[in-house]
């Protein structure tokens, strides 16, 4: 972490929880995310700005994006990950860290769970693991989490994991269909009080 160039920062992977192996994107993951996006379109089209037009998504277009994401990971610009259910080998959650400031040691985290894996606590387990990883492996001093007004599942996860509400930004989140929603901004500054969860990563 002493280097001035983020590309030299160690990002040990994968992250393991009782049910998940969370790893960086790999060549060929575009087809996996395409299947999950189509399966979960109704929810994604409600909350994710990028889920504007279903017809714009193909396995090829998502593989192209996937390879750009892999490059961003190597450059330490963003860390986009896939959570694989260890028991079944199925990809169930997309997550990671964005808006990373390696000098101030802060970032935001986010996640979405494919429809067939929802209502099983996967999102909470993933977010808990990512917070522990950010403070432990990446030595972050602040981890943020945001959601749009009305996104009750995300609000419940933020509160369940002890994130503190910092501010509400009026109409700051752009949504599909040209809509805008208030952005709720939460933060954590350590792992104190997180629900117990066994989380490991390479070297730990």
For residue 59, is pLDDT > 70? yes
Q: Which long-range contacts (CB under 8 A, 24 or more apart) does 155-160 make?
A: 155/184, 157/123, 157/124, 157/127, 158/184, 158/186, 160/124, 160/195
Asked whether residue 149 is domain-assigned, the answer is: no
Cβ atoms of residues 89 and 20 within 8 Å? no
CA separation for the pair 190, 193 (Å, rounded): 9
Per-residue model confidence (pLDDT) at position 204: 85
Q: Please write the tens of the pLDDT for every residue from 76-130.
A: 999 999 999 999 999 999 999 999 999 999 999 999 999 999 999 999 999 999 9
The CATH number that applies at residue 101 is: 3.40.630.30
Range of the domain at 102: 6-141
Per-residue model confidence (pLDDT) at position 3: 53
> For 76, which DSSP code?
T
pLDDT class of 203 with cuts at 50, 70, 90 = confident
pLDDT class of 1 with cuts at 50, 70, 90 = very low
Mean per-residue pLDDT, 185-196? 98
> For 163, which DSSP code?
P
Tokens found for residue 23: 């790893």
Per-residue model confidence (pLDDT) at position 162: 98
Q: Please write the tens of the pLDDT for every residue from 132-161.
A: 999 999 999 999 999 999 999 999 999 999
Q: How many domains, in total, are found in the chain?
A: 1
Interior CA angle at 73 toward 142 and 16, to 5°? 70
Asked whether residue 159 is domain-assigned, the answer is: no
3-class DSSP assignment, residue 83: strand
Asked whether residue 146 is domain-assigned, the answer is: no
Share of the chain above pLDDT 70, in %: 99
Residue showing tokens 């089209």: 45
Mean pLDDT of the chain: 96
Q: CA 78 → CA 6, 43, 71, 102, distances in Å?
A: 11, 24, 9, 11
Q: CA 51 → CA 54, 57, 147, 177, distances in Å?
A: 7, 9, 15, 10
For residue 11, is pLDDT > 90? yes
Asked whether residue 67 is domain-assigned, the answer is: yes
Asked whether residue 196 is domain-assigned, the answer is: no
Q: Please write the tens of the pLDDT for every residue from 173-182.
A: 999 999 999 9
Q: How far is CA 106 from the centre of its chain?
A: 15
Per-residue model confidence (pLDDT) at position 55: 95
Asked whether residue 69 is domain-assigned, the answer is: yes
Asked whether residue 23 is domain-assigned, the answer is: yes
């Amino acid at each position: 972490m002493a280097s001035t160039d983020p590309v030299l920062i160690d990002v040990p992977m994968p992250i393991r929880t009782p049910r998940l192996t969370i790893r960086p994107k790999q060549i060929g993951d575009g087809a996996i995310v395409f299947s999950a996006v189509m399966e979960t379109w109704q929810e994604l089209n409600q909350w994710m700005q990028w889920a504007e037009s279903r017809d714009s998504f193909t396995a090829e277009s998502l593989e192209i994006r996937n390879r750009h994401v892999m490059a961003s990971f190597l450059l330490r610009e963003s860390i986009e990950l896939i959570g694989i259910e260890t028991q079944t080998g199925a990809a169930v959650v997309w997550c990671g860290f964005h808006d990373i400031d390696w000098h101030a040691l802060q970032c935001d985290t986010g996640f979405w769970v494919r429809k067939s894996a929802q209502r099983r606590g996967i999102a909470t387990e993933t977010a808990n693991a990512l917070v522990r990883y950010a403070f432990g492996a990446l030595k972050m001093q602040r981890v943020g989490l945001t959601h749009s007004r009305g996104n009750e599942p995300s609000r419940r996860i933020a509160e369940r994991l002890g994130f503190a509400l910092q501010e509400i930004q009026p109409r700051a989140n752009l949504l599909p269909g040209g809509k805008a929603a208030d952005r709720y901004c939460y933060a954590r500054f350590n792992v104190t009080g997180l629900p117990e969860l066994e989380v490991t990563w390479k070297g730990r």
